[in-house]
């Protein structure tokens, strides 16, 4: 069975680039770069859970990205054979995309860096080197392979890995493909030609159809909208094939699209749908009620490996929509609501509920515990009271001044911990003093929905995508 190596992550539309983005550089492998930390004042003493983002089979092994970790899993048993930490907790975004080029496995640590691992021995991937966003010239989010050349896209444009050629400077970019009008990249809902930035069509993401499926030169496209997402077939000249017969409207966020066995698989937070492809038509789908999925992959014996906010699982899918679980491993993620009594935290969402202890130990709960608290939108210290602004991205400080994250991340909560303001947002946690000075940052999979002060003086975070964590002050406590 042939694999079509493409994925699409959650669609992000915009063109903001924060102050961490640097200049493009050229040449070969570069040395390690320092993580985005203001100081070493925060110490992560425990963490648990997190989203499984991507899956890929290499040499009979099932690779998965989980948080900032690469897992090597036995497809038959679901057991973890090897676990490779790609970055320390709090120092990077999640491992949100990966692709294979020859014997090199490239992994995106979202908006932070690219890690390259050798998979010459598939059972023992080995980190070869890494390139940070400042040296790369973009904040990486997306990997594309065109004619066996790797392209890295994200905040700041598109970079070809081999020679560091940079296109579409200053734009937020996604997938790159070779089309009938030249090499193009998606930016928001627009498709631009790399050579001259010319607007050539409309799509949030584009993927070439695998050889032997459908008509030659076709693409699968995704176009995110405010309420619905369009998914369908597109010509080589970036035009929809047939809006009625080859395009479908999908509810929710499209997390991944793949083509296997002449079917277009569309993975959303709510379900997985398989649309048979007949020439230039998409037929009625078979719908599988698997919620919280981010990616899927066909493995040995016709089984399907599925990963997401629920954890990871191997399932068998019936033609009538039935799902039979072969084995599964659940992790705390998809955490939307929580409560805390100062000793432990209970949190959860559609994929389940969990109790977390400061040591990092967690246990599943039978159901929602009730009496969860909304995230805190204001907090008070000796310096006064701070609150989240009505725009959702600013924090109003006690003296009336305004603090905004460099990347304009959406702020989910603010809490007073040890006399300081802890801000939970899309990219992690920022700690401020009463005057808005940054004391420290933790780069985490977000959004961080809650920060709870604990009875022992530490704090616990609850992240929708990143699970739980315990944080205390290190030796540099002010």
For a pLDDT cut of 90, what percent of the chain falls above it? Answer: 79
The predicted pLDDT at position 472 comes to: 87
Q: Which residues pair with 191 in a beta bridge?
A: 186, 201
Residues 6 or more apart in contact with residue 139 via CB below 8 angstroms: 17, 18, 20, 21, 111, 112, 133, 154, 155, 156
Average pLDDT over residues 19-38: 34
Decide if pLDDT at 373 tops 50.
yes
The predicted pLDDT at position 7 comes to: 42
3-state secondary structure of 302: helix
Quote the CA–CA distance of 428 and 297 in Å, as a whole number.
29
Phi, psi angle pair for 300, to nearest 5°: -60, 145
Residue 301 confidence class, pLDDT cut points 50, 70, 90: confident
pLDDT tens for residues 54-101? 999 998 899 999 999 999 999 888 899 999 999 999 999 999 999 999
Average pLDDT over residues 34-40: 42
Decide if pLDDT at 16 tops 60.
no
Location of structure tokens 């390690």? 32
Decide if pLDDT at 409 tops 70.
yes
Decide if pLDDT at 418 tops 60.
yes
Q: Burial of 252 by CB count in 10 Å (0-12 exposed, 13-18 middle, 19+ buried)?
A: middle
The predicted pLDDT at position 406 comes to: 87
The predicted pLDDT at position 101 comes to: 96
pLDDT tens for residues 340-367? 999 999 999 998 999 999 999 999 999 8
Decide if pLDDT at 382 tops 90.
yes
Closest CA to 415 of 333, 334, 331, 338: 338
Distance of CA 271 to the CA centre of its chain: 18
The predicted pLDDT at position 474 comes to: 63
User: Is the model more confident about 109 or about 455?
Assistant: 109
Q: Which residues pair with 414 in a beta bridge?
A: 423
Residues 6 or more apart in contact with residue 390 via CB below 8 angstroms: none
Domains of the chain: 50-330 (2.130.10.10), 337-473 (2.130.10.10)
Decide if pLDDT at 420 tops 60.
yes
The predicted pLDDT at position 308 comes to: 96
Q: Are 433 and 415 in contact (CB under 8 A)?
A: no
Average pLDDT over residues 115-122: 97
User: Is the model more confident about 61 or about 434?
Assistant: 61
3-state secondary structure of 415: strand
The predicted pLDDT at position 348 comes to: 96
Decide if pLDDT at 25 tops 60.
no
Other Cβ atoms within 10 Å of 442 Cβ, number:
24
Q: Are 353 and 365 in contact (CB under 8 A)?
A: yes
The predicted pLDDT at position 298 comes to: 87
Burial 131-163 (b: 16+ CB within 10 A, else e): bbbbbbbbbbbbbbbeeeebbbbbbbbbbbbee
Location of structure tokens 């084995």? 327
Residue 214 confidence class, pLDDT cut points 50, 70, 90: confident
Quote the CA–CA distance of 268 and 256 in Å, as a whole number.
7
Average pLDDT over residues 446-457: 94
How big is the CA angle at 186 (ends 185 and 188), to the nearest 5 degrees? 150
Closest CA to 313 of 109, 73, 104: 73
Quote the CA–CA distance of 26 and 7 in Å, as a whole number.
27
Phi, psi angle pair for 302, to nearest 5°: 80, 5
pLDDT tens for residues 144-164? 999 999 999 999 999 999 999
Q: Are 102 and 61 in contact (CB under 8 A)?
A: no
- Strand ranges for 94-237 from DSSP E: 95-101, 104-109, 113-118, 126-132, 139-146, 149-155, 157-160, 166-167, 176-179, 182-187, 190-193, 199-202, 205-208, 219-224, 228-234
What global pTM score does this model have?
0.89
Decide if pLDDT at 102 tops 50.
yes
Decide if pLDDT at 6 tops 70.
no
Q: Are 348 and 365 in contact (CB under 8 A)?
A: yes
User: Is the model more confident about 268 or about 77?
Assistant: 268
Decide if pLDDT at 29 tops 50.
no
The predicted pLDDT at position 216 comes to: 82
Quote the CA–CA distance of 115 and 191 in Å, as a whole number.
27
Phi, psi angle pair for 53, to nearest 5°: -95, -50
3-state secondary structure of 422: strand
User: Is the model more confident about 3 or about 97?
Assistant: 97
Phi, psi angle pair for 321, to nearest 5°: 100, 0
The predicted pLDDT at position 367 comes to: 87
Quote the CA–CA distance of 176 and 189 in Å, as a whole number.
14
pLDDT tens for residues 178-203? 999 999 999 999 999 999 999 999 99
């Amino acid at each position: 069975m042939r694999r079509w190596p493409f994925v699409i992550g959650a669609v992000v539309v915009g063109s903001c680039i924060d102050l961490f983005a640097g200049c493009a550089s050229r040449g070969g492998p570069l040395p390690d770069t320092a993580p985005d930390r203001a100081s070493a004042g925060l110490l992560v003493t425990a963490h648990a859970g997190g989203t499984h983002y991507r899956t890929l089979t290499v040499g009979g092994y099932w690779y998965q990205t989980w948080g900032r970790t690469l897992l090597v899993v036995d497809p038959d048993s679901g057991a973890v054979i090897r676990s490779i930490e790609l970055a320390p907790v709090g120092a990077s975004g999640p491992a949100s995309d990966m692709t294979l080029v020859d014997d090199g496995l490239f992994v995106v640590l979202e908006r932070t860096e690219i890690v390259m691992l050798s998979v010459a021995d598939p059972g023992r991937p080995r980190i070869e080197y890494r390139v940070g966003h400042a040296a790369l010239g973009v904040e990486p989010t997306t990997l594309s392979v065109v004619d066996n050349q790797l392209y890295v896209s994200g905040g700041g444009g598109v970079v070809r890995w081999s020679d560091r050629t940079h296109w579409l400077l200053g734009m937020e970019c996604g997938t790159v493909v070779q089309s009938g009008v030249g090499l193009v990249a998606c930016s928001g809902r627009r498709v631009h030609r790399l050579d001259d930035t010319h607007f050539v069509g409309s799509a949030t993401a584009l993927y070439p159809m695998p050889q032997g499926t459908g008509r030659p030169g076709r693409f699968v496209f995704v176009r995110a909208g405010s309420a619905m997402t369009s998914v369908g077939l597109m010509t080589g000249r970036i035009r929809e094939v047939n809006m009625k017969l080859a395009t479908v409207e999908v509810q929710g966020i499209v997390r991944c699209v793949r083509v296997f066995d002449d079917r277009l698989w569309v993975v959303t937070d709510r379900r997985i749908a398989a649309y048979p492809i007949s020439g230039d038509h998409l037929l009625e789908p078979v719908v599988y009620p698997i919620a919280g999925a981010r990616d899927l992959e066909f493995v040995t014996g016709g089984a399907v490996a599925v990963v997401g906010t629920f954890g990871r699982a191997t399932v068998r899918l019936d033609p009538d929509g039935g799902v039979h679980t072969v084995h599964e491993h659940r992790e705390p993620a998809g955490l939307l609501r929580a409560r805390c009594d100062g000793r432990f935290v209970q949190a959860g969402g559609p994929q389940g509920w969990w109790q977390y202890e400061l040591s990092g130990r967690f246990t599943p709960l039978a159901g929602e515990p009730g009496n969860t608290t909304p995230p805190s939108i204001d907090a008070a210290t000796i310096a006064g009271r701070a609150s989240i602004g009505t725009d959702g991205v600013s924090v109003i400080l006690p003296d009336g001044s305004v603090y905004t994250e460099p990347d304009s991340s959406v702020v989910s909560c603010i809490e007073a911990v040890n006399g300081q303001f802890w801000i939970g947002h899309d990219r992690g946690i920022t700690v401020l003093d009463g005057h808005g000075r940054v004391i420290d940052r933790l780069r985490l999979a977000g959004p961080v929905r809650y920060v709870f002060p604990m009875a022992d003086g530490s704090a616990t975070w609850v992240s929708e995508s990143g699970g739980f964590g315990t944080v205390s002050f290190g030796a540099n406590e002010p």
